[in-house]
Amino acid sequence: MNTAIVLAGNPNSGKTTLFNELTGSRQHVGNYPGVTVEKKQGICVSDSGKFNIVDLPGTYSLTAYSLEEVVARDFLVNEKPSMIVNIVDASNLERNLYLSVQFMEMGIPVTIALNMMDVAEKRGIKIDIEKLSELLNVPVVPTVARSGEGKKELLKTIASTVNGNVEPLTISYGRDMDTALDEMEEIIQSSAFLTEKYRARWTAVKYLENDSQVIESGQKENRKVALQLEKIVEKVRRHLLATLDTHPENIIADQRYGFINAVLKQNVISYFQDKNRLLLSDKIDKVVTNRFLGPIIMVAILMGLYKFTFTYSEIPVGWFESFFGWVGSVADSALPDGLLKSLVISGIIDGVGGVLGFVPLILFMFLGISFLEDSGYLARMAFMLDRVFRMFGLHGSSVMAFIVSGGIAGGCAVPGVMAARTLKSPKERLATLLTVPFMNCGAKLPVFALLVAAFFSENKATVMLLITLISWMGALLVARVLRSTIIKGESTPFVMELPPYRMPTIKGILIHTWERTWQYIKKAGTVILGVSIILWAMMTFPGLPETKVQEFENQRLSIVSGMSAQVLSEIETLEEKKLSAKALDIKESLAQINFDEAHAGLKNSIAGRIGSSLEGITKFAGFDWRTNIALVGGFAAKEVVVSTLGTAYSIGEIDSEEITSLSDRLKEAEGWGPLTAFSLIIFTIFYAPCFVTVVCIAKEAGSWKWAAFSVVFNTALAFGLSVIFYQVGSIVLI
């Protein structure tokens, strides 16, 4: 075997010493072509094989700022060596790994020679070599180049790994940059832009780093594509300046150090202190990620966010409700009775208005989450929860997806599913995609709020907490089952970037909050609007057959026949207490007929027939045909459960002074009680994700198979759990 190996590392890491140790007298020195940078080459013959070794100039980075850096990376790009042996100074690990990370991003196989182990030991630094190797996903061999210690082991490792496949390291550079990188990568791949020389992702990162050499080669390669990429970079640059008051280059450096920081923090190094960069961050982390204090602080912060959101959004939510109530009353008086009025009020205003009413709540929640994210705290939360998640076959990066989906309260599974993109292992990503919909998204909250207010009004907070715990436990247990059966596979080590803490800017938080809230508003104006209209139609048509309508009309006529128009008008318009006992009797009889007619119409509608046909099975979970209609509607969007229950339980309802709200109606309705209500809560937590989430799962999982799985599996699970709960509850309560 005669393999090309390059030695690379920071200046003074011991490269020359190791080079001499490996090549002995079989070496010669020249210059790299065209420049006066020294190029040392030599041959290493050993039991493990024969290697051509080139010593790269010592550099700290792979930008294009110095001649050494350009020479080093040109050599790597043009010569495509079989392996980089990266000499890392163990006594200065964090700084040295900054270069290693860049090699790993290039996708060239790397073996780390962890040199100066004697110096590290003298300074009391202990390094868990195995853990470091596992987290970086590259071989790591301890060496003392000066004495030749570790040389044999290093050669053996090189020989055994030199022709293996490597998965290039992909670091997350934050939401804004990752979105731009994905877009750029797609353009670069599809137009084969510089792809003969560089990996597409690497080119994209270099564009964001404002790398003059790559930008110049890009312009020569294809002006049009280069311009397209430059435009994206410009947009991100402006966005970052506005939101975080910084440049992409700084974020890239921070996130690379954040990655290294996260690796070292996982007990890789027992004495770790960086005097230059992360001093304040480290001090904060000592408290915030402490084994005992960390979880307490995390719960306190979450409770604070929860309280902040619900306290401050209560009043504006009320304003929104009043506004939509006012719009409804305007439509009521402006439109003549009939189908159009019913469509506008029940279909559009009630449906879309119900969802838009939650905009203030969503806005306040995202305001809090944006603050936590921009400051760097959310990354710490994921870091702490990683251990728990790993036990259930998930990953530290899944934490963020769970939180965004409503792990705290009232998120949305759509961005949650998208947040799973940061997971590098496809199996862990899939397990995350399939379990985030169990979180309590903003659409499920009104359903829980309604049922809790109606049936558990004495213990609202406790029941809400119980619902949150059930959804988390359910999600984690399902993840465990899936990861032990159909999506079996090893857990990948978790290295989430832990960038230094930053003071978020007000402008940045406001922009990030608005971006997310706008997504929610757009959903209400498109998907929810469409679904509300369809459901309204399903609950309205085909209506009652003419003979039936006539029957009800005859019943009304038989009651009012012989009565004068004035008496009739009094019965219709006067308050109940002003009516005589006989008139009140007539009024109630008429209302009962109207109710029976509307009830019969709803039961005969398309939705009613579906609901009734399911009743044979759903009765085991305590659900009647009207609840079934609401749950079928909830497949489209969970908010629809509330609005549909409202319609189903109010159509033709006899309004009395005591029964006005939906929760009062449910309390009075036949078949309803705490048992049915909690069974419905369990079903709502677990059943099929809403339509938009299902589409997103298909897109992110790359197959409709998994989207279909989430619908069928989740619904079966939800139904099974509700039936068990309802049946056991019925026996216990008897």
Nearer to ligand BGO, 11 or 168 (CB): 11
Considering beta carbons, is residue 61 or 679 the nearer one to ligand BGO?
61
Report, in Å, the least distance between residue 276 CB and ligand BGO: 20
Report the distance separating Cα 352 and Cα 523, nearest Å: 10
Min dist CB 140 to ligand BGO, Å, is: 15
Map 252-316 to HEC letters: HHHHHHHHHHHHHHCCCECCCCCCCCCHHHHHHHHHHCCCCHHHHHHHHHHHHHHHHHHHHHHHH
The residue (of 75 and 706) whose beta carbon lies closer to ligand BGO is 75
Q: Would you state the structure tokens that stand for residue 697, as one six-digit string? A: 């799962």
Nearer to ligand BGO, 12 or 250 (CB): 12
CB-nearer residue toward ligand BGO: 54 or 145: 145
Minimum CB separation of residue 48 from ligand BGO in Å reads 20
Which residues lie near ligand BGO (CB under 6 A)? 9, 11-17, 58, 115-116, 118-119, 144-146
With H, G, I as helix, E, B as strand and everything else as coil, classify residue 712: helix
Least distance to ligand BGO from the beta carbon of 10, Å?
A: 7
CB of 58 to ligand BGO, least distance (A): 5
d(CA 636, CA 61): 51
Which residue, 64 or 144, has its beta carbon nearer to ligand BGO?
A: 144
Find the shortest distance in angstroms from Cβ 66 to ligand BGO: 15
Measured in whole angstroms, the distance separating CA 458 from the mean position of its chain's CA atoms is 34
For residue 52, the minimal CB distance to ligand BGO (Å) is 19
Three-state SS sequence of 191-227: CCCCCCCCCHHHHHHHHHCCCHHHHHHHHHHCHHHHH
Token reading at 148:
């030749």
Alpha carbon distance 529, 580 (integer Å) = 45
The dihedrals phi and psi of 368, each to the nearest 5 degrees, come to -65, -45
Q: Tell me which H or E stretch contains 372.
A: helix 359-375
Q: How far is the CB of 116 from ligand BGO (least distance, A)?
A: 4
Which CB atom, from 57 or from 504, has the smaller least distance to ligand BGO? 57
Q: From the CB of 44, what's the least distance to ligand BGO, in Å? A: 16
Closest distance of CB 392 from ligand BGO, Å: 42
- Contact indicator for 115, 143 with CB cutoff of 8 Å: yes
- List Cα–Cα distances, 242 to 254, 528, 542, in angstroms: 18, 32, 55
Please, what is the minimum distance in Å from the beta carbon of residue 7 to ligand BGO? 9
Smallest gap from Cβ 400 to ligand BGO, in A, equals 39
* DSSP structure class, residue 85: E
CB 684 within 8 A of CB 676: no
Identity of the residue, 87 or 641, whose beta carbon is nearer to ligand BGO in the bound complex: 87
Nearer to ligand BGO, 115 or 289 (CB): 115
Q: Is 436 helix (H, G, I), strand (E, B) or coil?
A: helix
When CB distances to ligand BGO are compared, the closest residue is: 14
| For ligand BGO, the closer CB: 147 or 212 | 147
d(CA 50, CA 448): 69
Nearest to 286 by CA among 299, 272, 275: 272
- The least CB distance from residue 39 to ligand BGO, in Å, is 13
Q: What is the distance in angstroms between the CA of the first residue and the CA of the last residue of the chain?
A: 80
Cα(107)–Cα(547) distance, integer angstroms: 76
Classify residue 694 by burial, with Cβ atoms within 10 Å: 0-12, 13-18, 19+: buried
| 35-52 core/surface letters (b: 16 or more CB in 10 A; e: else) | eeeebbbbbbeeebeebb
Identity of the residue, 118 or 274, whose beta carbon is nearer to ligand BGO in the bound complex: 118
SS3 at position 62: coil
Between 12 and 569, name the residue whose CB sits nearer to ligand BGO. Answer: 12
**71 or 144: whose CB is closer to ligand BGO?**
144
Contact 142, 114 (CB under 8 A): yes
